[in-house]
Amino acid sequence: MPIGLTTLTSLAQLRDFRARRLSSFDRSGGNKDAIPIEPGKKLVVAEIDGPGCIKHIWSTNSHAHQREAMRSLVLRMWWDGERTPSVEVPIVDFFGGGFGICKNFWSLPLQMNPDSGRGMVCWFPMPFRRHARIEVHNEWKEPIDFFYYVDHELYPRWD
């Protein structure tokens, strides 16, 4: 866990959870870790039964230096059976790069490093009681290769 998201005194406390990661890894065992998203299609990035909390999201894609493409890759998130998404935003905006512009920056909850690797990172804790769903929609005119990690904790009960 990054420094700053918890107090030092809580480091010694035992917590009851299972750590999990969802990712775009190459299911064939090779090294093509991206999942292509065709124009007009969506990718279900996470479908998680709770209770739990998403702790970290990392992402990059094949078009990270193209403004229009970054504005056309739409992130949607639903919590606990919602009919409409709580989050619906161009992916670059979610990670802190407004107007489709990727710039190097670092803050406690968000980081972006397009110069060295086009990575976008979010550390905002996103708790859910029953279910979490994350989708990425490609509204761009070309296929986009999408890479991701979604790290989360699952809890035995909701406290």
- Domain range annotation of the chain: 16-154
- Report pLDDT for 144: 93
pLDDT > 60? residue 2 = no
Task: Give which of 64, 55, 69 is closest to 21, Cα–Cα.
Answer: 55
- Report pLDDT for 1: 47
The 10s digit of each residue's pLDDT in 123-147 is 999 999 999 999 999 999 999 999 9
For domain 16-154, the CATH superfamily is Protein of unknown function DUF2961 (2.60.120.1390)
pLDDT > 90? residue 3 = no
- Report pLDDT for 24: 96
The 10s digit of each residue's pLDDT in 31-89 is 889 999 999 999 999 999 999 999 999 999 887 667 788 889 999 999 999 999 999 99
Q: Between residues 148 and 15, which one has the greater pLDDT?
A: 148
- Report pLDDT for 6: 60
The 8 Å CB, 24+ separation contacts for 20-29 are 20/48, 20/151, 20/152, 20/153, 20/154, 21/149, 21/150, 21/151, 21/152, 22/46, 22/48, 22/148, 22/149, 22/150, 22/152, 23/148, 23/149, 23/150, 24/146, 24/147, 24/148, 24/149
- Report pLDDT for 5: 55
The 10s digit of each residue's pLDDT in 92-116 is 999 998 777 777 888 889 999 866 6
